[in-house]
């Protein structure tokens, strides 16, 4: 949870924002008074309005995030009744199973109700198996909102928790949120929607730097905490705990928009209820994995936004405070961005093809006005974004969405049936992404052809506006870059064909295979896993295509399963062979469920915690005291299985995750403490390599059911030859990933 109180340079960044707003207003004044091209007024106005829209959204953003708040988690209220509602339409049973297992594991007493608008017998069977209440309507009017309202009719609980079918809560979800309802005015407490599949279409992950950016990160990490300051955080349809009385007060979930969440929020705030945003990941789900579901989701949001804009415009409805009106306005006008970006994308080709300018001239005077305004706006946006903004990535997604938003606007004029709620498809799907990137391809082609055309004209002496051509060509190239990035990313994501996202982890696994009828049992490390597969790493051989008996050593539990080696990659380091195998795993459903719970409740949060989601802004990096970097030996990623002989003399197993000349990081199943002497042996082939050491640092994962200890171990009387051998193996292993 980000503590905004302790962020450096808050005062300075607000000064920057104010200066930027003043400069922007001056720039717009100058634009409107001195730069309009009288002979191309429509073009001039179009560009000017697009710039004004950008200014409006920036100012609303600055207002919303002016002073974001960090909540202190209150003590949970005891003895309240809670119903957990999970609406579903067509999500796969495998996904529903994970969600329902997680709902069942919620520590706070509750009932789980699955609301199936798909009326599927297999889902009913699943509910019976897992002990959840199965509810299905005969008619399906008002889509998700109608389905949840139907669930409300079957619920008498004081509080309602809502999760999308692909969003599985952590066991403490209700405990962390229910304390906020001590204040009788609180209608709902919203937690962020966290997504763990960081290879999705809307994520950009840098695995080397352990940094991940997500398109919705700015909204969940900053805008919602910012709006919370103005009592304007809004319900996002999932990961929410709601007071039943507040829902009854507004007549249940709003059904007149396909984005029922925003409209319901507006109505709740209109009635004087307050809201809470709890900025801590308490549920994990799947983000749109390819451009196809992303497009469907954003089109729905865009259409819903337009519907709310016309039907319950926050500027005209009663009961909202002025800050709430501004915050809602900021969230409602974003589909207009489609028109704004369209203007920005077609302006350079028009200028390059025709020589017609949307302003008097593009000369040094223009640049002297434009560059300070634009640079300052970017700087202020970056600063006010508190390290979540990622301007260029946002621009990239704007390119990805502009036509989607235009479509959503024009679909307002389609018959009601054609604009019904469409569920975001889960999983990768099989639809080709190419039809969806045609608008981006057109932007690319139009821009490049326009550049070539204009340069030819310049070289042939048919035109003399060389600077205008140069500047617009650079602008067109920027747009082309955005388009290429989206096209390539859509393509890459489409061809990334692994069934489920593999969660990085470090689990010791024994695998047994038959070697000429003789069973061979060896220790390996799983470096990633799902319920149905894992990657095993071993310093030794793994039989390609062979069947394995697996003993997966989770913290406190060992699971048994069957595995089949799908592929093996090997590398040599001297005489040592290191293998990494992709293994399809099957096992009894009880074991699979345990694996699913472990992955969801422990592995996901461990894995995501390793990735930074924000960067230091310029002001922070200048003000924050420079971290004193100790000279650290080079660390090499390893994933080597290890035998750990603890203080008691007993044996446990672990995984060496990285190693250097001075020590290594050990994921242990045994609870270790600083100062402990450990006799660790790396398992290399048939022999173990002793790496004795002293624990110098311990990180404990707080999961109640799956406690895990990650220890930093410094070598103590280790044989230098052994250390170098393991380092050489680790170096060689790099090519396996």
Partner 1 sequence: MKSAHRRLLLLAILLYGLIVSLVDLDYNSVFIDEAFQITMGQEIIRGEPCLGCPHHTGSVMIWPVLAALADSAGGIHAVRILTIVIGLALTVIVYATASMLFGGSLGLTAAALFMCTGQTLYLMKLGTYDMIAAFFIGASFFMFVVSASVTAPWHRNLAIVFGAAALFLAAITKYLLPVFVPSLVLYVLFKHGIKRTALFCVLPLAVLGALYLGFDRYAPRMQVLGQVETYANIKVPLATMFDWAFRWIALVLLLAVFGIFHERHGKTAIAFIALSSPIIILHLVTRAEQSVNKNMIFALIFLVPAAALGVEHLVKIFSFGAKHRIVRGFFTVSILVIFWAYGLFNLRWLERQYPDVTPVIEFFETKGFDGMTVAFNGWDGVIYDYVLEDRYPNARFLNMFEIRKTDSPRPAFAERVDFVVCEDLFYGKMSPCSQFGPYFEDDFVLLRNFTIEHSWGKTDALIYGRR
Q: Which residues bind partner 1 (CB under 8 A)?
A: 204, 363-365, 367, 371, 392, 396, 448, 451, 455, 458-459, 461, 464, 466-467, 469-471, 473-474, 477-478, 480-482, 484-485, 488
Bridge partner residues of 134 (DSSP): 114
Give whichever of 518 and 626 is closer to partner 1, judged by the CB atom: 626
Give whichever of 39 and 365 is closer to partner 1, judged by the CB atom: 365
In whole angstroms, the minimum distance from the beta carbon of 677 to partner 1 comes to: 44
Among 100, 195, 221, CA closest to 607: 195
Give whichever of 414 and 462 is closer to partner 1, judged by the CB atom: 462
5 DSSP assignment:
G
What pairing do the DSSP bridges indicate for beta strands 687-690 and 708-715?
unpaired
Give whichever of 254 and 471 is closer to partner 1, judged by the CB atom: 471
Burial class (CB within 10 angstroms; exposed 0-12, middle 13-18, buried 19+) of 368: exposed
- Joined together, the tokens standing for residue 131 give 């002990």
In whole angstroms, the minimum distance from the beta carbon of 478 to partner 1 comes to: 6
Phi, psi of 194 (to 5 degrees): -95, 140
In whole angstroms, the minimum distance from the beta carbon of 619 to partner 1 comes to: 16
In whole angstroms, the minimum distance from the beta carbon of 451 to partner 1 comes to: 7
Give whichever of 451 and 552 is closer to partner 1, judged by the CB atom: 451
- CA-CA distance, 681 to 668, in Å (whole number)? 12
391 within 8 A of 378, measured Cβ to Cβ: yes
In whole angstroms, the minimum distance from the beta carbon of 439 to partner 1 comes to: 17
Strand residues in 151-270 grouped as ranges (E): 159-162, 168-169, 186-190, 194-195, 203-206, 211-214, 240-243
In whole angstroms, the minimum distance from the beta carbon of 475 to partner 1 comes to: 11
- CA-CA distance, 678 to 553, in Å (whole number)? 20
The Cβ of residue 164 has, within 10 Å, a number of other Cβ atoms equal to: 24
In whole angstroms, the minimum distance from the beta carbon of 375 to partner 1 comes to: 9
In whole angstroms, the minimum distance from the beta carbon of 485 to partner 1 comes to: 4
Among 66, 22, 32, 36, CA closest to 377: 22
Give whichever of 461 and 650 is closer to partner 1, judged by the CB atom: 461
Phi, psi of 584 (to 5 degrees): -85, 130
Q: How many residues does the chain have?
A: 737
Q: For the chain, what is the total number of helices (H) and then of strands (E)?
A: 21, 25
290 DSSP assignment:
S
Give whichever of 414 and 488 is closer to partner 1, judged by the CB atom: 488
In whole angstroms, the minimum distance from the beta carbon of 364 to partner 1 comes to: 4
Give whichever of 482 and 722 is closer to partner 1, judged by the CB atom: 482
SS (H, E, C) 658-720: EECCCEEEEEECCCCCCCCEEEEEEEECCEEEECCEEEEEEEEECCCCCCEEEEEEEECCCCH
**3-state class percentages of the chain: helix first, strand second, coil last, to nearest 5:** 45, 25, 30
Give whichever of 284 and 475 is closer to partner 1, judged by the CB atom: 475
148 within 8 A of 161, measured Cβ to Cβ: no
In whole angstroms, the minimum distance from the beta carbon of 367 to partner 1 comes to: 7
In whole angstroms, the minimum distance from the beta carbon of 466 to partner 1 comes to: 5
DSSP string, 395-436: HHHHHHHHHHHHHHHHGGGS-GGGG---PPPPS--S--SGGG
- CA-CA distance, 710 to 703, in Å (whole number)? 13
DSSP string, 580-619: EEEEEEE--HHHHHHHHHHIIIIIHHHHHHTSB-----HH
The Cβ of residue 632 has, within 10 Å, a number of other Cβ atoms equal to: 8
Give whichever of 344 and 706 is closer to partner 1, judged by the CB atom: 344
639 within 8 A of 506, measured Cβ to Cβ: yes
Give whichever of 421 and 444 is closer to partner 1, judged by the CB atom: 444
Reported as half-sphere exposure (CB side, CA atoms, 13 A), residue 332 has a value of 22
In whole angstroms, the minimum distance from the beta carbon of 490 to partner 1 comes to: 13
Give whichever of 259 and 480 is closer to partner 1, judged by the CB atom: 480
506 DSSP assignment:
E
In whole angstroms, the minimum distance from the beta carbon of 213 to partner 1 comes to: 11
In whole angstroms, the minimum distance from the beta carbon of 659 to partner 1 comes to: 28
Burial class (CB within 10 angstroms; exposed 0-12, middle 13-18, buried 19+) of 422: middle
221 within 8 A of 307, measured Cβ to Cβ: no
- CA-CA distance, 634 to 718, in Å (whole number)? 18
Give whichever of 160 and 350 is closer to partner 1, judged by the CB atom: 350
Distance of CA 696 to the CA centre of its chain: 33
Give whichever of 63 and 379 is closer to partner 1, judged by the CB atom: 379
In whole angstroms, the minimum distance from the beta carbon of 258 to partner 1 comes to: 32
Give whichever of 378 and 698 is closer to partner 1, judged by the CB atom: 378
Give whichever of 159 and 201 is closer to partner 1, judged by the CB atom: 201
The Cβ of residue 78 has, within 10 Å, a number of other Cβ atoms equal to: 10
In whole angstroms, the minimum distance from the beta carbon of 455 to partner 1 comes to: 4
DSSP string, 309-330: HHHS-TTTSSS--HHHHHHHHH
């Amino acid at each position: 949870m980000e503590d905004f109180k302790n962020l450096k340079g808050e005062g300075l960044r607000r000064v920057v924002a104010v200066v930027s707003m003043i400069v922007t207003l001056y720039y717009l004044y100058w634009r409107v008074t001195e730069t309009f091209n009288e002979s191309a007024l429509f073009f001039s106005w179009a560009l000017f309005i697009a710039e004004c829209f950008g200014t409006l959204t920036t100012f609303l953003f600055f207002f919303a995030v002016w002073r974001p708040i960090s909540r202190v988690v209150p003590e949970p209220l005891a003895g309240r009744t809670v119903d957990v509602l999970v609406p579903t339409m067509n999500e796969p049973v495998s996904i529903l199973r994970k969600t329902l297992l997680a709902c069942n594991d919620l520590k706070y007493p509750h009932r789980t109700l699955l609301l199936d608008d798909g009326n599927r017998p297999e889902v009913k069977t699943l509910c019976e198996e897992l002990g959840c209440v199965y509810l299905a309507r005969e008619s399906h009017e008002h889509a998700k909102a109608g389905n949840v309202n139907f669930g409300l009719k079957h619920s008498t609980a004081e509080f309602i928790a809502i999760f999308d079918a692909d969003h599985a809560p952590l066991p403490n979800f209700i405990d962390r949120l229910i304390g906020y309802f001590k204040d009788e005015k609180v209608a709902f407490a919203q937690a962020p929607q966290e997504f763990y599949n960081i290879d999705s279409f809307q994520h950009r992950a840098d695995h080397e730097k352990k940094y991940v950016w997500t398109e919705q990160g700015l909204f969940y990490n900053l805008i919602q905490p910012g709006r919370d300051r103005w009592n304007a955080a809004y319900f996002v349809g999932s990961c929410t705990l709601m007071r039943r009385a507040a829902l009854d007060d507004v007549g249940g979930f709003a059904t007149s928009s396909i984005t029922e969440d925003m409209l319901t929020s507006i109505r709740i705030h209109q009635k004087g209820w307050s809201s809470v945003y709890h900025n801590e990941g308490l549920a994990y789900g799947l983000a749109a994995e390819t451009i196809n579901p992303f497009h469907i989701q954003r089109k729905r949001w865009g259409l819903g936004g337009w519907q709310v804009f016309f039907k319950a415009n926050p500027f005209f409805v009663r009961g909202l405070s002025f800050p709430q009106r501004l915050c809602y306005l900021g969230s409602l006008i974003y589909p207009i961005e489609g028109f704004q970006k369209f203007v920005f994308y077609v302006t350079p080709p028009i200028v390059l093809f025709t020589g017609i300018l949307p302003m008097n001239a593009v000369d040094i005077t223009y640049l002297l006005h434009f560059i300070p305004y634009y640079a300052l706006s970017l700087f202020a946006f970056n600063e006010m974004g508190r390290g979540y903004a990622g301007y260029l990535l946002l621009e990239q997604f704007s390119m990805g969405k502009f036509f989607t938003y235009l479509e959503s606007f024009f679909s307002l004029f389609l018959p009601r049936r054609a604009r019904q709620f469409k569920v975001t498809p889960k999983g990768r799907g099989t639809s080709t992404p190419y039809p969806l990137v045609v608008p981006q391809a057109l932007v690319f082609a139009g821009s490049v052809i326009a550049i070539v055309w204009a340069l030819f004209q310049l070289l042939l002496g048919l035109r003399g506006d060389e600077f205008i051509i140069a500047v617009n060509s650079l602008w067109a190239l920027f747009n082309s870059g955005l388009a290429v990035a989206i096209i390539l990313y859509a393509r890459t994501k489409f061809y990334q064909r692994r069934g489920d996202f593999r969660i990085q982890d470090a689990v010791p696994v024994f695998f047994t295979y038959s070697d000429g009828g003789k069973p061979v049992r060896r220790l390996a490390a799983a470096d990633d896993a799902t319920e149905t597969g894992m990657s095993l790493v071993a310093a030794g051989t793994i039989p390609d295509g062979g069947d394995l008996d697996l003993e997966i050593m989770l913290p406190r539990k060992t699971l048994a399963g069957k595995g089949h080696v799908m592929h093996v990659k090997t590398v040599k380091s001297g005489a040592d062979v290191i293998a990494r195998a992709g293994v399809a795993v099957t096992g009894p459903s009880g074991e699979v469920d345990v694996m699913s719970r472990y992955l969801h409740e422990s592995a996901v949060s461990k894995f995501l915690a390793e990735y930074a989601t924000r960067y230091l802004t310029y002001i922070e990096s200048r003000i924050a005291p420079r971290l004193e970097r100790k000279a650290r030996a080079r660390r090499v990623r390893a994933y080597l299985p290890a035998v750990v002989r603890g203080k008691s003399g007993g044996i446990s197993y672990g995984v060496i995750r990285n190693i250097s000349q001075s020590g290594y990081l050990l994921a242990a199943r045994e609870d270790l403490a600083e100062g402990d002497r450990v006799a660790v042996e790396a398992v290399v082939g048939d022999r173990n390599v002793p790496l004795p050491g002293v624990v110098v640092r311990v990180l404990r994962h707080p999961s109640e059911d799956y406690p895990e200890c990650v220890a930093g171990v410094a070598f103590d009387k280790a044989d230098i030859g052994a250390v170098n051998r393991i380092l050489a193996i680790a170096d060689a292993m790099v090519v396996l990933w």
